[in-house]
Structure 1
Amino acid sequence: MMTLTTCIGSIAAVCTTLAFVPQVLKSWRTRDLSGISLPMYTIFTVGVLLWLVYGILIQDWPVIVANAITALLASAVLLLKLKSILNI
């Protein structure tokens, strides 16, 4: 049975993870990343990867799953931004 704390954490994880989907879709469709800050997305992606490691270390599945998905989404935007800067 899921505790109230785990339930709240899981809902928060879903919300914060899903928040990146519109940005990824818009960036992918338009290829316009001029409004995306490279330093911000770099720092954010590193932070999410560290949260993922933390989740693994404490074996907390909501933290692991949410940050694994968020890391993929943030990395996608970061890679698109790098490609736009490097004209690849």
Structure 2
Amino acid sequence: MTPNFETILGLMAAVLTTVANVPQVWKAWQTGETKDLSLAMTLILASGLGLWVAYGMMRADLVIVVANATAMLLAMTLAALKLRHG
């Protein structure tokens, strides 16, 4: 089965939005520096991503579920680092 343009577009969007937080998580993990991170924004983002996961599960859309679950874990990692390092 050959993926159509819509599927490819969705996969590209999923990859980009999922990996967007990786540099921030990496930097915070390595340096412990989180003073410029907003805890509220990070928690709101994680909550929204959790809702996307629920939506993806209802639609049985694996791309939505996996991408948003991964991004949610990254956001939760940032929140945990913020709580740990202040």
Pairwise same-fold verdict (TM > 0.5): yes
Question: Partner of 1:21 in structure 2?
Answer: 22
Query: Over residues 12-63 of structure 1, what are the superposed CA-to-partner deviations in whole Å (9 max), with x where a residue is unaligned?
Result: 0001111111001000001010110011001010000110111111011111
The size of the alignment, in residue pairs, is 85
Structure 2 alignment gaps of length 5 or more: none
Q: How does 1:1-88 map to 2 (within 5 A)?
A: 1-85=2-86
Structure 1 alignment gaps of length 5 or more: none
Letter in 1 for 2:18: T
- Displaced runs of 4 or more, over 2 A: none
Cα RMSD, aligned residues only: 0.8
TM-score, normalising length: structure 2? 0.94
